[in-house]
Chain A
């Protein structure tokens, strides 16, 4: 008994989505199977009905209302550029804070002092401005393991990212609601 081509295979054949081997196999089958050929022709007819579809004219020009909304919006891509700048500023701030607190954190968490060769890098001062010193007593750190500190930091980063995303979406939704 001859096995007919299944519906999926016929559809993939119609869409030219079969590889060369499978396509050759289907071609060979179609050459000798009237039922599958008829099934494929029916699928072709369905596809052909759309080819003759005529578009209808738009009932009214929508360019004016669209442009009225567009004129209230920022230039495309500008918000993304602003967002990248904001993200960059936040990352820079975090790096500065971590760098500022690094010697103190190292000492508190591991009991290790920063190598003397690196200390000058933390002691530099700008002519008009200098970072305040970190007295040990005013920087009490809970006695947590490094793993716990790592987990806390990861949690803070996740919250920070979610926060950014929420702020972003709120701004977008507010703008949408104003339209």
Chain B
């Protein structure tokens, strides 16, 4: 009994210390977490991942259209974000910067590795095997999902950055490394197509 206590006590103390550190990180703003990460504190970046993973996953999901691949893209995006963190302007919000990375990776993923994804129907309708998801998906959202996944990946990426992340044409062009004229062209044509698809589904 005494031995168990002897071994358990340091572990418990370590866990309590870890919990305290995590709790302290949890209260910090993104900019402070970024600054600490750049100073070599990787736990600070872990807090960033926990804080933004749902957001990043949803960005990836809207572009990739498949939950398993969206999870992979989300992980890759955080690693990419970590590598590029020195270029992040800490006076600006973190989420739009991250969304540009996620969208870019998701777009590359769809275009290069999985052209067959275009034919996947996972997100064209709510998952029937998942009652919680079914409950979450309103009929309207299901219609929009279906319409969104009729678009080309590049059009989806532009829609994601313009309508979900509210980026300007310039910011989208920089994020996707496209000329502004292409951004406008993709965006306007995507809207036209969506308009037709949504009208047709009513």
Q: Which residues of A contact B (CB under 8 A)?
A: 7-8, 11-12, 15, 17, 42-43, 45-47, 49-50, 52-63, 65-67, 69-71, 73, 75-77, 80, 179
Count of A-B contacts with CB under 8 A?
108
Complex Cα spacing A117 to B46, Å: 63
Q: What residues of chain B lie closer than 8 Å to A71, measured between beta carbons?
A: 42
Contact: B191 with A57, CB < 8 Å?
no
Given contacts A47-B163, A63-B50, A67-B42, 12 further A-B contacts (CB under 8 A): A7-B188, A11-B184, A45-B198, A46-B191, A49-B194, A50-B159, A55-B55, A56-B136, A58-B74, A62-B74, A67-B45, A76-B85
Complex Cα spacing A70 to B86, Å: 14
CB A75 to nearest CB in B, in angstroms, measures: 5
Contact: A63 with B53, CB < 8 Å?
yes
22 residue pairs A–B, Cβ–Cβ below 8 Å: A7-B188, A11-B187, A17-B169, A42-B195, A43-B195, A47-B163, A54-B138, A55-B54, A60-B71, A62-B53, A63-B49, A63-B50, A66-B46, A66-B75, A66-B79, A69-B75, A70-B45, A73-B79, A75-B37, A75-B38, A77-B85, A80-B86
> Contacts A46-B198, A66-B79 given: A52-B86 contact, CB under 8 Å?
no
Q: Which residue of A lies closest to B159 (CB)?
A: A50
Q: Which residues of B contact A (CB under 8 A)?
A: 37-40, 42, 45-46, 49-50, 53-55, 57-58, 61, 67, 71, 74-75, 78-79, 82-86, 133, 136, 138, 140-141, 144, 159, 162-164, 169, 184, 187-188, 191-192, 194-195, 198-199
Q: Which residue of B lies closest to A66 (CB)?
A: B78
> Contacts A65-B75, A69-B79 given: A53-B141 contact, CB under 8 Å?
yes
Quick one: which of A59, A70, A80 contacts B79, CB cutoff 8 A?
A: A70
Q: What residues of chain B lie closer than 8 Å to A65, measured between beta carbons?
A: 75
Q: What residues of chain B lie closer than 8 Å to A69, measured between beta carbons?
A: 75, 79
Q: What residues of chain B lie closer than 8 Å to A76, measured between beta carbons?
A: 37-38, 82-86
Q: What residues of chain B lie closer than 8 Å to A53, measured between beta carbons?
A: 141, 144, 164
